[in-house]
Amino acid sequence: MKKKTITLIGGSGFLAKYCISELLKDGHNLKIVCRNPHLAGHLRMMAPIEQLDLVKGNVMLSHTIEPVISNSDVVINFVGVLKDGSGGQSFENCHTLGPKNIASLCKKHSIKKLIHFSSIGADIESDSKYQYTKGLGEKNILNSFPEAIILRPSIVFGPGDGFFSVQSKLIKNLPVIPLFANNKYQCVYVKDIAKATSKLILDDNYNGKIFEFGGPDTMSLKEIYQLILDTLRIKRIILPVPLSFANFVALMMLPLPSPLITFDQVKLLRKDNVISKTDYTLAKLGIVPSSPRDIIKTYIS
């Protein structure tokens, strides 16, 4: 297997960490680009500097990422935010303009492969700003670099995640669990995504394809809450609440720096987060997806 020089942009996050681990096992040389390398010291310990280097860069400032992109075989973009922030952390900057800059640089320097992480539900027609900007980001990527591989995962889970780990902490402290909606999810294991990414790097047959990654179980939000309760071995009342009340909660949390729910996230609760009828899934890559029913008991308690 030929070793690649791979640049991971936004490489200090949860998903990126597992992909880094998988790519290091394959022997690739990695350049990790992040806005604040001094906060990503945990990555420095994963490999010697000859194999893994941390680089300061900002996707909104092309000149800060061009030098590292220009010397790459593969570029992977992980940049994304769950809540619309100000300045560089806005949906527009992270999901739309950043990918445009990355794709343009990859085209300019004739990069062999670009992998872009988006999300299930990305759609330029969506009334959710999160999904709209994700959809526009995909469009910008493909306009400049049509052979890019787009990856759309459902909710990603695994040790250190921002979903089951966070929900379990909330549930333990609530006597009653409000159920604002009962939409469905196809939660996908982070290590399955890492394996898929590793395979795609070495296989050019899938260039230009859009993959959707989901787990083996389609679970309603109520079923997810019940799974967490069963795993924690505690009992709570799951109380259906009108979705309109979620907007009221979002309004009350508006002044907070890190609100538990936003107006845009309420819009996401109106739709299922499951893979479409596509052939391009984990199974296409020979990966049997893991179920959260088997995994979350290993890291929430």
296 lies in some domain = no
Q: Which two tokens stand for residue 67?
A: 């030098």
DSSP letter, residue 191: H
DSSP letter, residue 100: H
Contact between residue 171 and residue 236 where contact means Cβ atoms under 8 Å apart = yes
74 lies in some domain = yes
191 lies in some domain = yes
Q: According to the model, what pLDDT value does residue 1 have?
A: 63
Alpha helices, H only, the chain: 14-25, 41-44, 62-70, 91, 98-108, 129-144, 164-172, 190-202, 221-232, 243-253, 263-268, 292-295
Q: According to the model, what pLDDT value does residue 38 have?
A: 82
Query: Tokens 């200090």 identify what position?
Result: 12
3-state secondary structure of 274: coil
240 lies in some domain = no
**CA–CA distance, 108 with 142 (Å, rounded to integer):** 14
Q: Within 10 Å of residue 166's Cβ, how many Cβ atoms?
A: 12
300 lies in some domain = no
pLDDT tens digit string along 192-207?
999 999 999 999 999 9
Q: According to the model, what pLDDT value does residue 113 have?
A: 98
Q: Residue 282's closest CA among 218, 212, 217?
A: 212
254 lies in some domain = no
Alpha helices, H only, 173-235: 190-202, 221-232
pTM of the entire predicted model: 0.95
* Arithmetic mean of pLDDT over the chain: 94
Q: How many domains does the chain have?
A: 1
34 lies in some domain = yes
Contact between residue 210 and residue 198 where contact means Cβ atoms under 8 Å apart = no
Contact between residue 122 and residue 210 where contact means Cβ atoms under 8 Å apart = no
Contact between residue 287 and residue 151 where contact means Cβ atoms under 8 Å apart = no
For residue 59, the enclosing domain spans: 5-158+186-214+274-289
115 lies in some domain = yes
DSSP letter, residue 257: S
**CA–CA distance, 43 with 40 (Å, rounded to integer):** 6
**CA–CA distance, 282 with 115 (Å, rounded to integer):** 15
Gap between the terminal Cα atoms of the chain: 40
pLDDT tens digit string along 165-223?
999 999 999 999 999 999 999 999 999 999 999 999 999 999 999 999 999 999 999 99
CATH code of the domain containing 26:
3.40.50.720
Low-confidence ranges of the chain (pLDDT < 70): 1
